Amino acid sequence: MTTEPGAFEFRDYQCFTFERRNRVLTATINRPEAMNAVNARLHEEFSRLFTDLAMDPDSDVVVLTGAGRAFCAGGDINWMQEHIDVPGEFERTGLEAKRIVFSQLDLEKPLICRLNGHATGLGATIALMCDIIIASDKAKIGDPHVSVGLVAGDGGAVIWPQLIGFARAKEFLLTGDLLTAPEAAQIGLINRAVAPERLDDEVYALADRLAGGATKAIRWTKTATNIALKQLAHSMMDACIGYESMSNLTEDHREAVAAFREKRKPAFTGR
């Protein structure tokens, strides 16, 4: 791979790195010291990432992955505390959250998730909104928003039922339980789980195949397939973000964040 930026430069990104392999562009979430957890800066960058990827003239296929041991560990606990301390901050976050989902679904280029490690919360949503998800069999995936007293409003309620049906999706969204990658593959949540040493071979063999295919036919087939999902996302996200915003103000959420900081089990009261 090469880090040469090509004709289109990804300027002003602090939380991503970009590498090119012919017509395949790899975007890597780069906060490995924090398990690639989402803070304010990373969230803002995600809100424009997929638009910039769409505009890049030197790529036909995009691979999305994470640096280090995790793909993306969801929301950073310090960022959650900021939203508690300054509730108005959630208004900006909500707008960005909608941009993330809408722009990801609008991206015409095939988007392959190289799920190198755990993906939770928003990390799971972004992984599952990709077109094809190939995971290390050591990875886990889940949406534990409820575990921190939040509504799974940033896209999880949209995408999980479409992949595994409502009954299974509600079980995992309401409990926050994580699945191993092999379990996720078995129920159709992701495409497949492979040994870590095989991950690059599997991901880039597929990426190269797509990059060498009939580009417009592939892009427009994806676009046509995404129409129903885009309609669903646009019909749901305002309400989803609204409910998550309300849950940000609850005592249970405050308790969950405090318990995480104090390394203890939260005592929820339903308030």
Task: Give the Cα separation of 269 and 145 in Å (integer).
Answer: 17
pTM for the model stands at: 0.95
Domains observed in the chain: 16-197+211-261 (3.90.226.10)
Confidence band for 11, pLDDT divided at 50, 70 and 90 = confident
pLDDT per residue as tens digits for the range 17-36: 999 999 999 999 999 999 99
pLDDT per residue as tens digits for the range 82-112: 999 987 888 999 999 999 999 999 999 999 9
Task: Give the Cα separation of 131 and 136 in Å (integer).
Answer: 17
- Does the structure show a pLDDT above 50 at 5? no
